[in-house]
C-alpha cells in the first residue's frame, strides 16, 4: 500500500528576470521522513522551499502539499504546517513569550507555549525583547513559532545557521523527536554533516537543478563507492598482501605510509583481517569514507563552499 506523498513537486520553474533560480525541479517527500534539500548558498533551496510553502508562485509546474495547492489554499494549509524562514524578523521590542502567545492565538490547537520555550532553552529569555536576543536565540524562537501549532509538516530553512555546536546538536535532537511523533520534516541545509546525521533522504541541488535524490548511503554508494585505508608499516611484504585482497583497486606507498583503495563495502574489514592473518605490524591506521561532500564534489565538479 503506497501512501500519497506529503509533498509532491513536479517540474517547477522560477525565474527572476534572466536569472533561473529553480529549473525543472521535481521531488516527493514521504510521510514521516526527514527530507533534506542540500546544496550551496544560491543553489535555489530557499526559492524552492518558499514555492512549496506558498510564499512564492512558480512560473511553471505543479506543487501539492498535504493534498492542497499551496497558493490557492494558503490559509487552510497554514493551519497544518509550521514554517521557519531563513531570514526572519519580529518587532524589535516584542517579548519572547508575547511572540509565542501571539502565534498560539492564531491556531486552533496550539501546544503549550511555555513548554516549548523551555524545550528550546529560552526559559531565561521569556521576558527579553526580540532585539536583545543573540542570533542563536532568535533562531530558536523562530523554531518555537514553527512548532507552536503542532504541525503535521514542518519546514526548516537552514535551521542551524548561527548556532554553536552544542545548540546545533540540541536542535538535531529536537528535529528527530518531531519525526518520532509521526511528523514529516522538510529542511534545507548547506551543511553536509547535518544532512548526513539528520536526513532519511536528500535531494542535491545546484544552480537551480536537482542533481540526484536518495538516502545518504545510496548516494555515496552510487557516486563515490571508493574508500581508502591509510596505514604506516615497516613490513615490506605488506603491499603485496594487500594487493591480493579481492577487489582492491590500488595500493600506493609514500615512504612507510600505504594507501589502499577499493570499491567494496567490506574493504576495511578485509584489510583488518589481512593484518591479523599475516601479523603485519602497523603504527598508524586510518580510514577515509566518502561523505556527501565528496558526492557533491563528484557530481558538480566544485565543493559546496565554492
Partner 1 sequence: MLRGLWRLTWLEIKIFVREPLGVIGTVGIPVLIYVGLGRLVSPRAGRVSPDLPRFVSVDLPIFTSLLIAASAVLSLVAIIAIYREGGILRRLRATPLRPHTILTAHVMVKLLFTATTLALMVLAGRRSYPMPANVPLASFTLALLFSTVSILSLGFLIASVVPTARFAQPIGTLILYPMLGLSGLFVPVGSLPPVLQVVARALPLTYAVSLLRGIWGGEGWAAHVGDIVVLTLMFFAFVAVSTKVFRWE
**Which residues of the shown chain bind partner 1 in the complex (CB under 8 A)?**
53, 55, 75, 78-79, 83, 85, 87-94, 98, 101-103, 105-107, 129, 142
Query: Rounded to the nearest whole angstrom, what is the least distance from the CB of residue 125 to partner 1 in the complex?
Result: 16
**Rounded to the nearest 5°, which phi and psi values hold at 62?**
-130, 145
User: Residue 82 or residue 262: which is nearer to partner 1 going by CB?
Assistant: 82
Residues 6+ apart with CB under 8 A from 85: 142, 157
Closest CA to 90 of 77, 101, 79: 101
CA distance 127 to 116: 15
Query: Smallest distance, Å, CB 37 to partner 1?
Result: 17
CB 67 within 8 A of CB 81: no
If the CB atoms of residues 94 and 280 are measured against partner 1, the closer one turns out to be 94
Closer CB to partner 1, residue 95 or residue 207? 95
Q: Shortest approach of partner 1 to residue 159 CB, angstroms?
A: 15
* CB 51 to partner 1: min, Å: 13
Q: Which of the 8 DSSP states describes residue 129?
A: B
Q: 113: closest CA among 138, 152, 78, 148?
A: 148
Instruction: Note the Cα 131 to chain centre separation in Å.
Output: 29
Instruction: Count other Cβ atoms within 10 Å, centred on residue 261.
Output: 16
Closest CA to 153 of 56, 211, 68: 68
Cβ distance to partner 1 smaller for residue 87 or 240: 87
Least separation in angstroms between residue 95's CB and partner 1 is 9
Residue 90 vs 159, nearer CB to partner 1: 90
CB of 126 vs partner 1, minimal distance in Å: 15
CB of 242 to partner 1, least distance (A): 56
Q: Which is nearer to partner 1, 188 or 228 (CB)?
A: 188
Closest Cα partner for 40 from 192, 259, 197?
A: 192
Q: Which of 30, 28, 20 is nearest to 60 (CA)?
A: 20
Whole-angstrom distance, CA of residue 82 vs CA of residue 103? 11
| CB 146, min distance to partner 1, A | 9
Which one, 156 or 295, has the nearer CB to partner 1? 156
Cβ atoms < 10 Å from Cβ of 124: 10
In terms of CB distance, is 98 or 193 closer to partner 1? 98
Amino acid at each position: 500500500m503506497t501512501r500519497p506523498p506529503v509533498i509532491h513537486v513536479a517540474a517547477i520553474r522560477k525565474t527572476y528576470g534572466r536569472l533561473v533560480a529553480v529549473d525543472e525541479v521535481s521531488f516527493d517527500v514521504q510521510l514521516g521522513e526527514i527530507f533534506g534539500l542540500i546544496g550551496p548558498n544560491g543553489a535555489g533551496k530557499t526559492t524552492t522551499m518558499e514555492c512549496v510553502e506558498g510564499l512564492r508562485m512558480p512560473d511553471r509546474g505543479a506543487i501539492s502539499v498535504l493534498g492542497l495547492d499551496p497558493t490557492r489554499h494558503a490559509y487552510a494549509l497554514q493551519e497544518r504546517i509550521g514554517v521557519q524562514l531563513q531570514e526572519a524578523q519580529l518587532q524589535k521590542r516584542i517579548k519572547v513569550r508575547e511572540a509565542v502567545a501571539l502565534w498560539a492565538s492564531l491556531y486552533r490547537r496550539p501546544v503549550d507555549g511555555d513548554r516549548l520555550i523551555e524545550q528550546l532553552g529560552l526559559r531565561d529569555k521569556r521576558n527579553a525583547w526580540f532585539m536583545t536576543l543573540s542570533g542563536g536565540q532568535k533562531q530558536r524562537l523562530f523554531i518555537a513559532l514553527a512548532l507552536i501549532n503542532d504541525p503535521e509538516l514542518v519546514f526548516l530553512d537552514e535551521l542551524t545557521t548561527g548556532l554553536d555546536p552544542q545548540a546545533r546538536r540540541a536542535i538535531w535532537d529536537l528535529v528527530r523527536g518531531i519525526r518520532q511523533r509521526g511528523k514529516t520534516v522538510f529542511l534545507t541545509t548547506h551543511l553536509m554533516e547535518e544532512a548526513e546525521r539528520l536526513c532519511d533522504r536528500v535531494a542535491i541541488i545546484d544552480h537551480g537543478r536537482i542533481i540526484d535524490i536518495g538516502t545518504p548511503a545510496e548516494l555515496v554508494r552510487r557516486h563515490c563507492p571508493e574508500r581508502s585505508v591509510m596505514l604506516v608499516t615497516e613490513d615490506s611484504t605488506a603491499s603485496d598482501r594487500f594487493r591480493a585482497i579481492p577487489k582492491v583497486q590500488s595500493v600506493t606507498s609514500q615512504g612507510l605510509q600505504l594507501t589502499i583503495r577499493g570499491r567494496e563495502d567490506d574493504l576495511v574489514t578485509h584489510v583488518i583481517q589481512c593484518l591479523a592473518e599475516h601479523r603485519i605490524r602497523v603504527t598508524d591506521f586510518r580510514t577515509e569514507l566518502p561523505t556527501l561532500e565528496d558526492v557533491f564534489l563528484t557530481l558538480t565538479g566544485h565543493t559546496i563552499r565554492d
